[in-house]
Amino acid sequence: INQIGYYPNTTKTALLINLSAPKPGKVQLVSNRTKRTVFETGLSAPQQDGASQDIIQTIDFSKFNKEGSYYLKSGNIKSYPFQIGKNIYRETLSKLLRSYYLQRCGVGVRDSASGVNHPPCHLSDGLIAHTDAFNQGGKHKPAIGGWHDAGDYGKYVGPTAVTVGRLLSLYEQYPKLFSDRQLAIPESGNRRPDILDEVKIGLDWMLTMQREDGAVYRKLSGKEWPGAILPHEDKQTRYVYGISTSETAKLAGAMAMAHRIYAPYDSKLAQIYLKAAQKAWTFLQREPSAKVDWVEGDDSGSGAYLNQSPEGRLQTDKNDRLWAAAELFITTGNSAFEQYLVQNIASWTYSLYEWTDPSTLGMTDYLMLTGRKESENLKQQIKTKLLQRADSLMQKVAASGYRLANQDFIWASNKRAAEEGITLLHAYRITGNQNYFRAAVDQLDYLLGRNHFNKSFITGVGSNSVRNVHHRIAQAKKIVIPGLMVGGPNAKAEDGIAPKDLGLLSYLDDERSYATNEYAIDYNASVIGLMGMLMAQAN
Ligand code: 9MR
Ligand code: ZN
């Protein structure tokens, strides 16, 4: 089951997996309060799921729509309890969002609710790598603040930018999901929605990674991966690596969005964001092809986050530039940016939103936010590509026992499930076709427990959720930090801990499994995006 629950007026399915005969014929939906059966339904014929080899039978209780707390019963098998209700995700959404506060760097975090507790960390960030003798001297580039990327303490412009982009886009589409005092963070009570206070942490750190000429450094980290220590105990020298046109373009996209979204609250700040975006774009005009300053060894103590070919060159930054151009057009109305889109749309494919390619966010924003008649042609092309993508996802969902739109069981497959769900919801919004909506629900059902492991992939959410996340603070403190989504099944299992080559089954709830059981800021952003869009469109 989805361990949180189901909306009253849409699809509700649970799965029975790998039952040995004899299979029970009927399934009862039982009220938790009265212990009475309130609904009875059958089981589908067994279907084998290709990605796991599991034999799956579906329980469909969509017809039942009364709010309340229930469980499912089939012979002597009982499910965890779950809700049917209109507001099932409210608390979970806040939990997911609040995780960013716990990732803050450069400040002390004292949080009794989660047990995260450490003094200010990484206060010397950072030294520009390769400026002179790598270990002595070097130019200082103050870049304190921001969020630790994941279970590690690196800070990276790529994932920060796509995180900010996903969260701001959700806010921009559905501001009513958010409010001041929603997250109990230090800024709560300042009359600005807490989500904007939290996203500002990421934005302001990205500003520090920009050079005077507009170019942006890629990342900030030490040369060695720290052990399971608290962040303030990580005393190694931290370096600023870069410059890259990819990160420069991603910063432009995020800052252009930030300008229009923060303007009603703080016009001075909004101006700073716009200037940063424009400066970045100006730099890109001077550097029309993809370029990165990268030296062997740069990635020794941090994630590579490099869209790199074997020769060490950036493959492309075109999709980053598209995101930037779209957001700059929406923000400024300057037709030069729209022209850039017109020139590049033919070769563009609608793909999955991630740090290697954030272009779909720009294109869907353009679809939603551009009202002019002159834009119809471009919008039509974006729509066509989006719906092609959505229809290919629908085929994957139909062929999958777990009804999964993402069949790439690689690093961060859970994030991919969430992002494909978002694409399906865009298709639903455009067409009104309920099938897309239902398939999007399927993706969240999977993440929240309707899967092989009978486990919710988000800590502290659901009756049986992942606990042993690869996360240095959690490991050092021996705590479970709530509201973190882990990467999930990854057949390559690069950590050598989770089982390899098992598709959907290549996953282990083990803190050593960084390739399947780590959390990252951009994973949470994707599931927040999916959940928030569902919440806004469900009722
Ligand atoms: O999420 C990232 C994934 O897309 C990459 O394939 C993988 C390998 O480079 O790295 C993942 O990001 C990790 C990063 O490298 C370091 N910080 C933790 C991130 C989550 O595991
Ligand atoms: Zn830190």
Q: What would the pLDDT profile of 239-273 be if each residue is shown by its tens digit?
A: 999 899 999 999 999 999 999 999 999 999 999 99
Q: Ligand 1 centre and the CA of 393: distance in Å? A: 24
Mean of the pLDDT values across residues 51-71?
Answer: 97
Q: At residue 474, does pLDDT exceed 50?
A: yes
Question: What pLDDT, on the 0 to 100 scale, is given for residue 43?
Answer: 92
> Does ligand 1 lie within 6 Å of residue 301's CB atom?
no
Mutation probe of ligand 1 site: the residue of 147, 152, 234, 305 with most atoms within 8 A of C-beta: 305
Domain membership of residue 266 (yes or no) is: yes
Angle between helices 335-344 and 376-399 (to 10 degrees): 50
Please answer whether residues 161 and 205 qualify as being in contact, where contact means their C-beta atoms are separated by less than 8 angstroms: no
Domain membership of residue 358 (yes or no) is: yes
Mutation probe of ligand 1 site: the residue of 99, 103, 152, 519 with most atoms within 8 A of C-beta: 152
Ligand number nearest to the C-alpha of 301: 1
Of 20 and 500, the one with more pLDDT:
500
Q: At residue 135, does pLDDT exceed 60?
A: no
- b/e map 233-248, b = 16+ CB within 10 Å: ebeeebbbbbbbbbbb
Question: What pLDDT, on the 0 to 100 scale, is given for residue 310?
Answer: 67
Would you call 408 exposed, middle or buried from its count of C-beta atoms within 10 A (0-12, 13-18, 19+)? middle
| Whether ipTM exceeds 0.90 | yes
Q: At residue 174, does pLDDT exceed 80?
A: yes
> Does ligand 1 lie within 6 Å of residue 411's CB atom?
yes
Domain membership of residue 95 (yes or no) is: no
Mean of the pLDDT values across residues 152-159?
Answer: 98
For residue 441 the two structure tokens come to 């629900």
Mean of the pLDDT values across residues 508-529?
Answer: 98
Specify the amino acid at residue 215: A
> Does ligand 1 lie within 6 Å of residue 394's CB atom?
no
Please answer whether residues 169 and 361 qualify as being in contact, where contact means their C-beta atoms are separated by less than 8 angstroms: yes
Whole-angstrom distance, CA of residue 47 vs CA of residue 401: 7
Q: At residue 479, does pLDDT exceed 70?
A: yes
Ligand number nearest to the C-alpha of 162: 1
Q: Range of 309's domain?
A: 122-395
Question: What pLDDT, on the 0 to 100 scale, is given for residue 315?
Answer: 83
Domain membership of residue 323 (yes or no) is: yes
| Ligand 1 atom nearest residue 305's Cα | 9
> Does ligand 1 lie within 6 Å of residue 520's CB atom?
yes
Omega prior to 358 cis, within 30 of 0: no
The tally of domains found in the chain comes to: 1
The closest alpha carbon to 126, from 104, 112, 145, 107, belongs to 145
Q: How confident is the model at residue 309 (pLDDT cuts 50, 70, 90)?
A: confident
Question: What pLDDT, on the 0 to 100 scale, is given for residue 31?
Answer: 98
Question: What pLDDT, on the 0 to 100 scale, is given for residue 266?
Answer: 98
Ligand number nearest to the C-alpha of 408: 1
Domain membership of residue 21 (yes or no) is: no
For residue 131 the two structure tokens come to 């400026």
Ligand number nearest to the C-alpha of 520: 1
| Ligand 1 atom nearest residue 410's Cα | 6
The closest alpha carbon to 302, from 241, 252, 235, belongs to 241
Q: What would the pLDDT profile of 205-224 be if each residue is shown by its tens digit?
A: 999 999 999 999 999 999 99
| CATH number for the domain that contains residue 342 | 1.50.10.10
Whole-angstrom distance, CA of residue 490 vs CA of residue 506: 5
Q: What would the pLDDT profile of 377-424 be if each residue is shown by its tens digit?
A: 999 999 999 999 999 999 999 999 999 999 999 999 999 999 999 999
Mean of the pLDDT values across residues 437-450?
Answer: 98
Domain membership of residue 489 (yes or no) is: no
Domain membership of residue 221 (yes or no) is: yes
Domain membership of residue 71 (yes or no) is: no
Element (H, E) at 31: strand 26-31
- What's the per-residue H, E or C state across 61-109? CCCCCCCEEEEEEECCEECCCEEECCCCCHHHHHHHHHHHHHCECCCCE
Question: What pLDDT, on the 0 to 100 scale, is given for residue 98?
Answer: 98
> Does ligand 1 lie within 6 Å of residue 412's CB atom?
yes
Question: What pLDDT, on the 0 to 100 scale, is given for residue 136?
Answer: 52
Label the pairing between strands 77-78 and 127-128. Answer: unpaired
Q: How confident is the model at residue 137 (pLDDT cuts 50, 70, 90)?
A: low
Residue ranges with CB less than 5 Å from ion ligand 2: 105, 121-122, 231
Lowest mean pLDDT, pick from 5-14, 243-252, 292-301: 292-301
- Phi, then psi, of 338 in degrees rounded to 5: -65, -40
Point out which residues pair with 520 in neighbouring strands: 150
| Ligand 1 atom nearest residue 515's Cα | 21
Label the pairing between strands 238-241 and 219-222. Answer: antiparallel
Rounded CA Rg of the chain: 23
Question: What pLDDT, on the 0 to 100 scale, is given for residue 539?
Answer: 67
- Phi, then psi, of 160 in degrees rounded to 5: -65, -45
Q: How confident is the model at residue 367 (pLDDT cuts 50, 70, 90)?
A: very high
> Does ligand 1 lie within 6 Å of residue 484's CB atom?
no
Question: What pLDDT, on the 0 to 100 scale, is given for residue 374?
Answer: 87
Mutation probe of ligand 1 site: the residue of 408, 475, 518, 523 with most atoms within 8 A of C-beta: 518
Ligand number nearest to the C-alpha of 356: 1
Mutation probe of ligand 1 site: the residue of 411, 472, 511, 527 with most atoms within 8 A of C-beta: 411
Q: At residue 477, does pLDDT exceed 50?
A: yes
4 to 92, 422, 436, 445: CA distances (angstroms): 9, 19, 21, 9
What percent of the chain stands above pLDDT 90?
92
Matching residue, tokens 């033919």: 346
Whole-angstrom distance, CA of residue 307 vs CA of residue 320: 11
Q: How confident is the model at residue 132 (pLDDT cuts 50, 70, 90)?
A: low
Give 396's contacts (C-beta < 8 A, 6+ positions apart).
404, 405, 406, 407
Please answer whether residues 418 and 447 qualify as being in contact, where contact means their C-beta atoms are separated by less than 8 angstroms: yes
> Does ligand 1 lie within 6 Å of residue 150's CB atom?
yes
What percent of the chain stands above pLDDT 70?
98
Q: At residue 134, does pLDDT exceed 50?
A: no
From the CB of residue 114, how many other CB atoms can be counted at a distance below 10 Å?
23
For atom 7 of ligand 1, the residue with the nearest CA is 411
